[in-house]
Amino acid sequence: IVGLFTALHYQRRYPQRRVLVLERGSYPNGASVKNAGFACFGSPSEILADIDAEGLDRALSRVEERWRGLCELRHELGDGAIGFEPTGGHELYAPNDPLYNRVADRFDRLNEELGQVFHQRVYDWQDERINRFGLNAGHLAFTSLEGPVNSGSLMRTLLARTTGSGVEVRFGQEVVALEEEALGACVRLANGTTIRTGQVIVAINGYSASLLPGIDVIP
């Protein structure tokens, strides 16, 4: 998703340039299509844990990026084309789970802080939904701002939008090395092909270190 969106926006900004996407698999089959279709920005306990670990500003900044990304995804591709369903998001707490008390004590404050990003209340307690799901839980936090997407439909739509803009996408092209040169970079493929280019963007998430040794990214 990140690689294709990067290529799409770059091609729009520089239509005179040739943009090529190299995909190792025969079809995008990484985390972009293996996330079970969760279009989410974080549960109450997750965000509170991030605040404790990293501080309020950094945690809120990440939530804002996630939210802006979801909005951009829906705006660019359309809810119908990506199978988005506005079912909401839920976090369940088991009966007598001490995590519930830790979240409940900071629940209102969390909503106030998130108001800076969403400009509305994000989470509510809706325990009445538990029986509807037939689950053994003590409490349920709900947000109406999340929902599932169809990962396959999303990828097909994004691929069509990207290639339709003029971007070339090649599958089965495993990059094994990147070498910096005076006027750009040399991209070496597993099949022996060499590609020279002005710029390279690496969009393989945690495995970026396989091509960029020393980078501070850990899968």
- DSSP secondary structure letter of residue 196: E
Distance between CA atoms of residues 92 and 180, nearest Å: 49
The yes-or-no verdict on residue 37 having pLDDT over 90 is no
What value, to the nearest 5°, has the Cα angle with vertex 146 and ends 144 and 149?
A: 135
Buried b / exposed e along 112-136 (16+ C-beta atoms within 10 A): ebbeebeeeebbeebeebbeeeeee
pLDDT band at 184 (very low <50, low <70, confident <90, very high): very high
Dig out the tokens for 53 from the structure. 């670990």
pLDDT of residue 27: 82
Q: Is the pLDDT of residue 76 over 90?
A: yes
Computed over its alpha carbons, how large is the radius of gyration of the chain?
21
Which alpha helices (H) appear in 42-147, and where do they start and end? Answer: 44-54, 56-77, 79-82, 98-104, 107-118, 129-133
pLDDT at residue 86 is higher than 80: yes
Mean pLDDT, range 59-84, rounded to an integer: 96
Q: H or E element: which one contains 9?
A: helix 2-13
Q: What is the mean pLDDT of the chain?
A: 93
Per-residue pLDDT at 133: 86
Per-residue confidence (pLDDT) for residue 135, from 0 to 100: 87
pLDDT band with cut points at 50, 70 and 90 for residue 219: confident
Residues 148 and 87: their CA atoms lie apart, in Å, by 7
- pLDDT tens profile 108-137: 999 999 999 999 999 999 999 999 888 889
Residue 110 has what pLDDT?
98
| Beta strand ranges found along 95-192 (DSSP E) | 124-125, 139-143, 147-148, 168-171, 175-181, 184-189
User: Which of 43-47, 60-64, 175-179, 209-213 has the weakest average pLDDT?
Assistant: 209-213
Of 14, 26, 31, the residue nearest 199 (C-alpha)? 14
d(CA 22, CA 213): 20
For residues 57-62, give the mean pLDDT: 97
From CA 56, how far away is CA 69, in angstroms rounded? Answer: 20
Dig out the tokens for 203 from the structure. 């969009």
Residue 16 C-alpha from the chain's centroid: 29
Global pTM value: 0.86
Vertex 186: Cα angle to 180 and 192 (nearest 5): 140
CA atoms within 13 A on the CB side of 204: 18
Q: What is the pLDDT confidence band of residue 103, given thresholds at 50, 70 and 90?
A: very high
CB 93 within 8 A of CB 40: no
